[in-house]
Amino acid sequence: MTQQETLSPGMVLGRYELLLPIAQGGMATVWAARQKGSRGFQKTVAIKTMLPSLSDDPQFEQMFLDEASLAARIHHPNVAEILDVGEQDETIYIVMEWVDGEALSVITKTAKRSNVPVPQRIALRIVRQACAGLHAAHELRDDSDQLLNLVHRDVSPQNILVSYDGIVKLVDFGVAKALGRAGGETTAGQLKGKVPYMSPEQALGQKIDRRTDVFAMGIVLYRLTTGLHPFLGENDLATMKNIISRPLLPPRMKNPSFPVELERVLLTCLKKDPNERYQTMLELDAALERVLALSGASVVDDDIGAFTRSVMGDRGQKRRAELRDAVRAADERAAGIAMSPGAAQPHVHEAVSDIAITRMNSALTSFPTSMPRNSSTSIIPPSPESYAGGAMSGSLVPSTPPQKNTRAGLFMAVGAVAALSLAGTFMFLRTTMGPRAAAGNAAGNVAPTPPSPPAPTQAATPVAVQTGAAPESSASTGGGTVLDINDLPSADADPQATTKRDDKPAGTTKGTGATKPAATATAKPTGAPASTTWVPKVTDPGF
């Protein structure tokens, strides 16, 4: 499978996700890509990958890597920064900063089709920024602080990027030559660079230096200011012969209004002899600055951006929209993978109230320490047999219905409040009956005994209270004490009167289900009339 078949939007190279192809040159394809990091960080970058037809050529592979190693050393606002180099599945790639703009060649062609000439002040400002970037490359030094004698060798409008903000970036050091780098040396019969922008010594295969880039920049400036190429022939061979031997046609011969100072700069840049040219890009930049000063024109980077936007129209907006769509498609692909059947599904939490109830030892059935999660609680009302002297026996039974009931928490809360209210009632009865029971003991009645463990479940038995027996003959079993309601003092009660029979049988005890066995007769003080009245059984609530 070729590299062209493997590279596609959505493919990941290292830490970078390919979004869409942007351009293709003689050696590589440029992609817009996205770098993703932790905590939602993402950044748009440019990825350059070598063309499949050149990937098997060791020499071109070395040139590709040399570009990364050389350009990564250059740190200048007018040189596109190299961020990373990587290799994956036999694909070598270079990561560069993203430039939201167009190549100078695209801007000039679009302006020519629209019959819009590039203003001279804009052209001079663009070339000045490119000169600044090239001078930084020419002055590059190694770790021993020795000049690398770097030569770009491919200065052309295709390798000068102009952003929509008016910033110029120099790119593509793929055929750059540097001291001590085998990949940058030219073998016999081989030319590196674009023929229309070569210097005479470069076309002849002679030794080159930074002045070769000065000559190439002179051709770029000539085309920007006149609209013509100074040496262009019918083909590359004719163009090369013109560069080597044909004299330069001064611009004022075709356009007498052309500025004299600017013509002098062009003639100096395009001298056949390197010694007669500007020796550095810094000298060329200074000469262009003098031309601008003499013309009285002022220009800033924003002027370049405004001109670029006016010429290119909505091209930049369309590319940014395509980039946003590519990012959105990448996010949707990632979301589709996350929501695939094999992926973990999000957990939906329902509004179920969880109430923890502590154990209460009372006449009510003991509650569990905590209720199971995601279960509802149903309240079972006490049966008629569960009533005995005002005590109620009930139970809270956890149950798990087929579907969750979000109102279970409300029922549980109501049940808990009811239980606490009953408990408070029993406490009140205990505190009010305690002193009266003590008074009965002083008169010869038997005081209640502490409750004993519940006995096995059996039917409730009516208890007969007989008066007139001796106080010491009282006995009780099953954890409850039988009391005669006549013992309760009352201001208007007749102690000799018999109590109306309560037709309700004695109730069960605590929620364990055990009932009290029949108690023995309790003796009343001497002289009291005997009575066989049925009375309700009062159990100790156990507080």
Higher local confidence (pLDDT), 185 or 326: 326
Q: What is the pLDDT, as a whole number, of residue 46?
A: 94
pLDDT confidence band for 533 (50 / 70 / 90) = low
pLDDT at 61: 81
In a domain, 410, yes or no: no
377 class by beta-carbon count within 10 Å (0-12 exposed, 13-18 middle, 19+ buried):
buried
Tokens of 444: 């010869």
More confident residue, 413 or 469: 413
Residues 376-393 pLDDT 10s: 444 444 444 444 444 444
- Give the mean pLDDT of 245-274: 95
Lowest model confidence (mean pLDDT) among 114-128, 352-366, 418-432:
352-366
DSSP 315: H
- Per residue, the 3-state secondary structure of 455-496, as one string, reads CCCCCCCCCECCCCCCHHHCCCCCCCCCCCHHHCCCCCCCCC
Which residue is it, tokens 């046609």?
249
Question: Residue 139 above 90 pLDDT?
Answer: yes
pLDDT of residue 414: 76
pLDDT at residue 344, rounded to an integer: 41
Mean pLDDT (the chain, rounded): 74
pLDDT in tens, 442-492: 444 444 555 555 554 444 444 444 444 444 444 444 444 444 555 555 444
Q: Does a structural domain hold residue 241?
A: yes
User: Is 361 domain-assigned?
Assistant: no
Q: Average of pLDDT values for 413-420?
A: 79
Q: Is residue 242 part of a domain?
A: yes
Residue 531 lies in a domain: no
Which domain, by its residues, includes 64?
3-333
- pLDDT tens string 11-55: 999 899 999 999 887 678 899 999 988 888 889 999 998 877 776
pLDDT higher at 484 or 287: 287
Residue 136 to residue 77: CA distance in whole angstroms: 10
**3 state SS for 33-58:** EEEECHHHCEEEEEEEEECCCCCCCH
> Worst-scoring range by mean pLDDT, 280-294, 297-311, 330-344, 456-470?
456-470
Residue 119 and residue 127: Cα distance in Å, rounded? 13
In a domain, 338, yes or no: no
Task: Tell me what pLDDT residue 274 has.
Answer: 96
Average pLDDT rounded to a whole number, residues 499-519: 46
What is the per-residue pLDDT for 391?
A: 42
More confident residue, 528 or 207: 207
Residue 42 phi, psi dihedral angles, 5° rounding: -150, 150
Mean pLDDT of 125-147: 94
Q: Which of 11-25, 307-321, 525-539 has the highest mean pLDDT?
A: 307-321
Using one digit for the tens of pLDDT, what is the confidence trace for 165-191? 999 999 988 666 766 554 445 444 455
Domain presence at residue 529: no
162: pLDDT strictly greater than 90: yes
Using one digit for the tens of pLDDT, what is the confidence trace for 337-374?
655 544 444 433 333 333 333 344 444 444 444 444 44
Confidence of residue 243 (pLDDT cuts 50, 70, 90): very high
154 catalytically annotated: yes
Quick count: other Cβ atoms within 10 Å of Cβ 216?
Answer: 26
What's the whole-number mean pLDDT along residues 513-522? 45
For the chain, how many structural domains are there in total?
1
Q: Are 485 and 535 in contact (CB under 8 A)?
A: yes
CATH number at 267 reads: 1.10.510.10
pLDDT at 38: 81
**540 domain residue, yes or no:** no
User: Which of 66, 89, 143, 154 is the catalytic position?
Assistant: 154
Lowest-pLDDT choice from 136-145, 293-302, 517-526: 517-526
pLDDT recorded at residue 349: 37
Over range 306-311, report the average pLDDT. Answer: 96
Q: Looking at 302-311, 400-409, 469-478, which range is the least confident one?
A: 469-478
Residue 221 phi, psi dihedral angles, 5° rounding: -65, -40
> What pLDDT shows up at residue 54?
72
Q: What's residue 451's pLDDT? A: 53
126 pLDDT above the threshold of 50: yes
| Collapsed DSSP state (helix, strand, coil) of residue 119 | coil
- The Cα–Cα gap between 446 and 438 comes to 9
Considering the chain, what percentage of its residues have pLDDT values greater than 70? 61
Residue 539 Rama label (left phi>0; alpha psi -120 to 50; beta): beta
Judged against a pLDDT cut of 80, whether residue 78 lies above it is answered with yes
| pLDDT value of position 189 | 43
Of the pLDDT bands very low, low, confident and very high (cuts 50, 70, 90), residue 402 is very low
pLDDT at 36: 84
pLDDT tier at 160, thresholds 50, 70, 90: very high
- Which is more confidently placed, 485 or 213? 213
Confidence bin at 398 (pLDDT 50/70/90): very low
Distances (CA, A) of 255 to 10, 103, 125, 234, 252: 53, 27, 21, 23, 5
